[in-house]
Chain A
Amino acid sequence: MTALQIIFLFVAAITLASAVMVVSARRMMHAALWLVLALAGVAVIFAMLDAGFFAIVQVLVYIGAISILIIFAIMLTRKAMEDVGPQLNRGWWLAALAVVGVFAGLAVVIVSWPGVMATAGVGPDADAIVNFGKDLVDPDKYVMPFEVASVMLLAALIGAIYVSVEHKGGQP
């Protein structure tokens, strides 16, 4: 077992444990902080897969923006949070059963898939990021997904502002 594999197992264990804490923590604020740790673990795994760009984007977007947004939402809705009562639905065991079933199905599919023993190549070129930037604005390549994502972000921005502004006079 190489050092990389040991580090991977260590990081994966931490990430999965904090993910379990995210869904089981009684206090929402604790769950949000565990979520930060889980997202950081995912960033480390991106870095181990030679996707350093996405490791940094993960830290900036998920840890820097989305989890802060979630913490804001938790603080704004604090009074309604019953930190004392049960945090899970009555039918949570049904959900657990379904999730275990889904995981077993996924595991069977993964293990029985013939391509699963693929070995990684040498890794991306040094200028892969440069090419990525060029391809994102290249009309023959991926300018469409790029623009659609931009429009979606703009629409989400306007929609979020519209939804969360308090409207006087009752109607929405």
Chain B
Amino acid sequence: MIPLPWLLIFAAALFCIGLFGVLARKNSVAILMGVELMLNAVNINLIAFWRYFQATGADSSRAWTFVAVVLVAAAAEAAVGLALIISAYRKRKTVIANELNLMKG
């Protein structure tokens, strides 16, 4: 079996790469892609903890409900986020996050 620390370090690395994408990329679509990577890392952690601490006879549904809710949240976030980006692109002809200052006072 895979040692648990490998999985946790791998998930932490994936999360940090996604965080770097969110912080450093200019393109808003790329920022959303970073968020997707971070949510995937969270799901790996949840599945790993379920597999190592709960899978034996206990209630698997509890962990899986968490994972399913994270998946649904990711899907909703992608749909709304991309709709917002396309809508902002129609107005401003740009998807660069720094130039999207429609709400600036």
A76-B89, A95-B24, A163-B84 known; A132-B60 Cβ under 8 A: yes
Chain A residues 130-160 with CB under 8 Å of chain B are 131-132, 135-136, 141-142, 145-146, 148-149, 152-153, 155-157, 159-160
CA distance A128 to B37 in the complex (A): 27
Interface size range on A against B: 35 or more
CA distance A129 to B5 in the complex (A): 27
By the criterion CB–CB under 8 Å, are B30 and A87 in contact?
Answer: yes
A65 to chain B, nearest CB (A): 7
Interface size on B, residues (CB 8 A): 76
Give how many A-B residue pairs fall within 8 Å (CB-CB).
Answer: 255
0 or 1 for each of A15-28: is its CB under 8 Å from B? (1 = yes): 11001101100001
By the criterion CB–CB under 8 Å, are A164 and B29 in contact?
Answer: no
Which A residues are CB-close (under 8 A) to B95?
Answer: 77, 80-81
Hey, which bits of chain B sit against chain A, CB under 8 A? 1-10, 12-21, 23-27, 29-30, 32-34, 36-37, 40, 43-44, 47-48, 50-53, 55-57, 59-62, 64-65, 67-69, 71-80, 82-87, 89-90, 93-96, 98
Known: A5-B3, A35-B33, A88-B26. 18 other contacts (CB 8 A): A2-B1, A8-B6, A39-B40, A45-B44, A48-B2, A62-B36, A65-B75, A69-B78, A69-B82, A73-B82, A82-B96, A86-B26, A87-B30, A117-B4, A136-B68, A149-B69, A152-B72, A152-B76
By the criterion CB–CB under 8 Å, are B27 and A54 in contact?
Answer: no
Which B residues are CB-close (under 8 A) to A111?
Answer: 5
The main secondary structure of chain B at its interface with chain A is: helix
Which B residues are CB-close (under 8 A) to A8?
Answer: 2, 6
By the criterion CB–CB under 8 Å, are B29 and A89 in contact?
Answer: no
**Most chain A Cβ neighbours within 10 Å, of B16, B68, B72, B96:** B16
By the criterion CB–CB under 8 Å, are B21 and A107 in contact?
Answer: no
By the criterion CB–CB under 8 Å, are A70 and B29 in contact?
Answer: yes
Closest to B74 in A: A66
Closest to B68 in A: A149
CA distance A82 to B8 in the complex (A): 36
